[in-house]
Amino acid sequence: MPYDTLIPLIAVLPLAGFVFATLFGRRLQADYGRLAAAIVPLVMVGLAWLAAMIVAAGALSGAAPFGQHGHGISFWEWIPAGQFSVTVGFFVDALTACLLIVVTTVGLLVHVYSVGYMSHDGGTWRFFAYLNLFMFSMLVLVLADNFLVIFVAWELVGLSSYLLIGFWFPRRSASLAAKKAFIVNRVGDVGFILGIALIWVNLHTLNVQDVLAGIGKLDSTTISWIALLVLCGAVGKSAQFPLHVWLPDAMEGPTPVSALIHAATMVNAGVYLIARNSPIFAQAPQVMVVVAAIGTFTAIMAASIAFTQTDIKRVLAYSTLSQIGYMFAALGVGAWTAAIFHLMAHGFFKGLLFLDSGSVIHAVHDEQDMRKMGGLARKIPITYWTMLIASIAIAGIPPLAGFFSKDEILGEAFKNGFLWVWAIGFLVAAMTAFYMFRLIGLTFWGKSRVDPAVEPEIHESGRWMTIPLMILAIPTVLAGLVLGLPFGNSVLQGWLRPVFEPAVSLAGRAEQPFALFGLDGVLILASATIAALGIVVAWRLFGVDLGPLHLKARLDQVQALVEASPVSRFLYRASLNKWWFDDLNDLLFIRIGGRVAYGMWWFDRVIIDGAVNGSGRLVSSAGGGLRRVQTGRVQNYALGIAIGLIVMAAAYLAIGAGR
């Protein structure tokens, strides 16, 4: 099939699955069981994956019609409003292709996994309908060639996220979390849409390629404003400080959702958006620093919170925040390729980690508290080994995926002169290794703390779930080796060079030669060592049970460390309370904001309406005095009205003639 047919199909197939599941899913499930309801959405995503792979292969190999700089197709004129016009179209280049690979691969595996995971849920059909809707929206987001169409998809992924977080709607916490996610995202979206308006007002087009080509004509203040406003949207969707508060709560959704939307795909949309607009950001150096600062701060803040969380999914959620912080830091220092590299690697290993956590949660009968786990390694071996691999990958141990991508970010930050980014990122690398192995230790090693009633029933998940785990482990191991080598001129850099070339040359930083036996080698060694150090510390505190290694957990030492000094006690409480951001928001927006809203309602009833009713009363009491005039005869009223009108009209004329 020609690419011009395949490209729209990538998005249309999941849409068809969504429509089908919405219309017929409920009946199918009632008549033929849960698998019947899932099969069409599943097949649709499978076909979309196939189409995406063919398109990605074409785009990455530079085949016609993609070439070096991508290929676009347009469909219909969406909004024709005089001078303003938006045409819906898709555009595929190497950057799109990279995103397509992650989105469709993780998407397909999550769909397969969900067949197993949701097999006990009455709403399977609804779940798959929403998942398909999400896939459609996310694919449009990466394929769209127009800012307004990106915004459409941006909102639609928000909608699917809302629906899926609140999937178990009878649970109040789930529907509150869904609402919170949507509203917090909208705060960022206001910035994004204003950025879009600013782009149009200045360039009179919203086509992404035209805008990127024309942006240089604008003055630097305008460019900075555009970059800053677009950044608002990215910060919201990618859950960066200060709009990060929605993501941990989003863990109320079913775990496959957390894997797909809140780890591997949607939360990366902000990174994609900034990468896509790299020429704009490259011309706004101050905004780049803001991006780097937001990313770095989020990375360390979230990592510190992950230290003390006891809910297995929340640890992973804060880890996601922290890792996306890395990506923002990379974007901010101009390491565009490294950011996308980490996005891809993180998509695979974090998706795997979440799916593993789902398998764990299933095994211990919907328990998410790690204090009620432990010693699960031998009982659920596939889950254990795949999760261990993913943890090593995220910790940054060579030669797994996370090592390559994280190292590239840190190296570029160092070489581009952002020493503070490097230093904090370096520290976060150790913290990452630590909290991940705390998670592994508490969950899989040591003595079992599982509820004795559940204990005998712990078993490995079925094949629908374990096969996706094993498949995802492959890129977790290999992505770095395949994409990240040879150092300095890797495969991924080869793919993405045409995309980021304008930004790189605009920023005026020449690519520096790679020196494995020089600076780069030292940096690699340092980051691998610090990661290993983090793991060792975690081992020492939370126990080891890896092959021949056996070490008892020393939880008493954890306690002692926390109690050691006022500073450590404060840090512990800060971490446990998530640096009080939720409390601050509650105070500002629920308590104070609520008072304001009630105050305004009072104003509406008592002041505005009171004035109206007051004047009404005044008239009617005046009417009492004029009762004699009230004859009850319609003719008299009509006469009165007519006289009144003529008098008023005459007054008008007098004024008019007076000029």
Partner 1 sequence: MNVADLPLLSLITFVPLIGAIVIAFLPRDQPGLIRAVALASALISFGLSLLLLIGFNPTNPAFQYQEVHDWIPAFGIQYKVGVDGLSTILVVLTTTLSWISILASFRPIKTSLKEYMISFLILEVGLVGVFISLDLFLFYIFWEVELVPMYLIIGIWGGANRIYATLKFVLYTLVGSLLMLVAILATAFTFQNATGSWVGAFDFITLRNFAVTSGFVGNLQLFAFLAFFLAFAIKVPMFPVHTWLPDAHTEAPTAGSVMLAAILLKLGAYGMIRFAVPLFPGAAHTFAPIIIVLSLIGIVYGAIVALVQPDWKRLIAYSSVTHMGFVTLGIFIFQEQGLQGAIVQMINHGLITGGLFLLVGVMYERTHDRTIAKFGGLAGRTPVYTAAFGFFVFASAGLPGLSGFVGEFLVLLGSFAFNPWVGAVTASCMIWAAAYLLYMFQQIFTGQLSDFLRGLGDHLTDISPIEMLTILPLAALIVAFGLFPGLILHLVQGSVTTVLSEVQAVSAIHLFFWQ
Q: Please report, as ranges, the residues that interact with partner 1 according to CB under 8 A.
A: 26, 76-84, 148, 151-152, 155-156, 159, 162, 166, 169-172, 174-176, 178-179, 182-183, 186-187, 189-190, 193-194, 197-198, 200-201, 594, 596-598, 600-601, 604, 608-609, 612, 616, 645, 648-649, 652-653, 655-659
Alpha-carbon gap, residue 634 to 573, rounded angstroms: 79
- CB atoms < 10 A from the CB of 452, how many? 7
| Measured CA angle at 145 (ends 139, 149), to 5 deg | 70
Least distance CB 594 / partner 1 (angstroms)? 7
Of 287 and 523, CB closest to partner 1: 287
* Shortest reach from residue 162's CB to partner 1, in Å: 8
Nearest approach in angstroms of CB 623 to partner 1 is: 12
Spell out the SS3 assignment of 87-127: EEEEEECHHHHHHHHHHHHHHHHHHHHHHHHCCCCCCHHHH
Least CB distance to partner 1 at residue 351 (A): 27
CA 153-186-239 angle, 5° bins: 85
Query: Do β-strands 84-92 and 544-546 pair in parallel, antiparallel, or remain unpaired?
Result: unpaired
By beta-carbon proximity to partner 1, the closer residue of 221 and 452 is: 221
The distance of closest approach from Cβ of residue 238 to partner 1 in the complex, given in angstroms and rounded to an integer, is 18
Of 189, 471, 523, nearest in space to 338 by CA: 523
Instruction: Give the shortest CB-161-to-partner 1 separation in angstroms.
Output: 13
> Rounded to the nearest whole angstrom, what is the least distance from the CB of residue 270 to partner 1 in the complex?
17
Render the burial of 331-351: b for 16+ CB within 10 Å, e for the rest: bbbbbbbbbbbbbbbbbbbbb
Q: Is the peptide bond before 399 cis (omega within 30 degrees of 0)?
A: yes
For 447, residues 6+ apart whose C-beta sits below 8 A from its C-beta are: 374, 375
Nearer to partner 1, 420 or 598 (CB): 598
> What Rg do the C-alpha atoms of the chain give, in angstroms?
29
Nearer to partner 1, 182 or 539 (CB): 182
Cα separation, 93 vs 318, whole angstroms: 32
Distance in angstroms (rounded) separating the CA atoms of residues 246 and 61? 39
Q: What is the number of helices (H) and of strands (E) in the chain? A: 27, 4
- The smaller minimum CB distance to partner 1, of residues 171 and 552, is found at 171
Helix (H) or strand (E) holding 248: helix 246-249
Burial of residue 453, with CB atoms counted within 10 A of its CB: 0-12 exposed, 13-18 middle, 19 or more buried: exposed
Report, in Å, the least distance between residue 593 CB and partner 1.
8
Integer angstrom CA distances of residue 37 from 123, 164, 266: 10, 17, 25
CB of 405 to partner 1, least distance (A): 33
